[in-house]
Structure 1
Amino acid sequence: MDHTPENEAHGDEPTLAVRRLKLWIRMLGVTRQVENELREFLRVSHNTTLPRFDVMAALHRRRDGLTMTELSRTLLISNGNATTVVNRLVKDGLVTRILSDEDRRRITVRLTPKGLTIFEALAAEHRDVVDDLFAEMTEADLDALKNVLRRLRNSLSDARG
């Protein structure tokens, strides 16, 4: 029995591989939809961007700061992209750069007091927007999805060694 997407239209049950592919496509679609909503909220309500929010969130989690390399790795972005976002945040007084005493090439970035205040207010609104986007999900739904995603993440980590 042929389980190509064309034959599925004729009533054949899709294979597990096809179902997994469709799930992946649905996950991407939902992720993009949520990200688009968050981008719009940040742009319209705060004249900022999701990358700026992400950098500030990473720095909020590490109050002592992150090197540019650590920041890039944490956010899975290039050093160049991290530098561009950090430059704007520095210009706006939300982030500061600190040169290492031991190695002048090593730069740590950290939220300023102004950045901390602004981020914490923004993060509370961000949480509320996400809460609204996920309002249809019950606690049981959230727990089940979290567990499935954890298993998937663990299996991916195991597969990569």
Structure 2
Amino acid sequence: MSDLSKRRLKMWIRLLGVTRGSENALREYLRLNHDTTLPRFDVMAALYRRRDGVTMSELSRMLLVSNGNATAVVDRLEADGMVRRTPSETDRRTVYVAMTPEGIAAFEVMAQGHEAEVDKLFDGLGEADLDALTEILKRMGKT
């Protein structure tokens, strides 16, 4: 292995550590402050962006999870009145899911707190740091 290869490996471990640590902090924040989970937040965020609703298959693709995982989360959100399912008028096999007004209001409160929490997690990064890191991550995503 070359020195550059070893440095890339160390960078990967550090990146993974930052990602896992940040995700764990956000999970804990959502649990303690909003009595919810990160998967529920992610589903609500996806549905918030698509207010007209999406099919369960679209939702699964958006979240990069299985239909079963998405369905389990949607089941709980529906039971809590945060989302509603509507059967397609043209295809009985297709079901659309969308946020309820209560779900939208709850998500907006969570999202505001989530953003503030992310801001705290990365408050050591200035504008130049964010620009440089964003550019590096964009380059990495193209490989």
Matched residue, 1:57 = 45
What code does the residue aligned with 2:102 have? K
Render the CA deviation track for 1:111-160: whole Å, top value 9, x for unaligned.
100000000111001000000000000010001100110111122xxxxx
Matched residue, 1:28 = 16
Shift of 1:15: 2.3
- Of the three residues 87, 94, 108, the one matched with 1:120 is 108
Matched residue, 2:92 = 104
Matched residue, 2:129 = 141
Matched residue, 1:82 = 70
Q: Hey, what's the Cα distance between the residues in 1 that align with 2:6 and 2:60?
A: 34
- If asked which structure has higher relative contact order (CA below 8 Å, sep 6+), I would say 2
What code does the residue aligned with 2:121 have? L
Count, aligned residues: 143
- The gaps in structure 1 that reach 5 residues or longer are 4-13, 156-161
Q: Which has the larger radius of gyration?
A: 1
- The gaps in structure 2 that reach 5 residues or longer are none
Shift of 1:33: 0.3
Please report the RMSD computed on the Cα atoms of aligned residues, expressed in angstroms: 1.0
Secondary structure of 2:124's partner? coil
Q: TM-score, normalised by structure 2?
A: 0.96
- 1:129 pairs with 2:117: yes
Shift of 1:18: 2.1
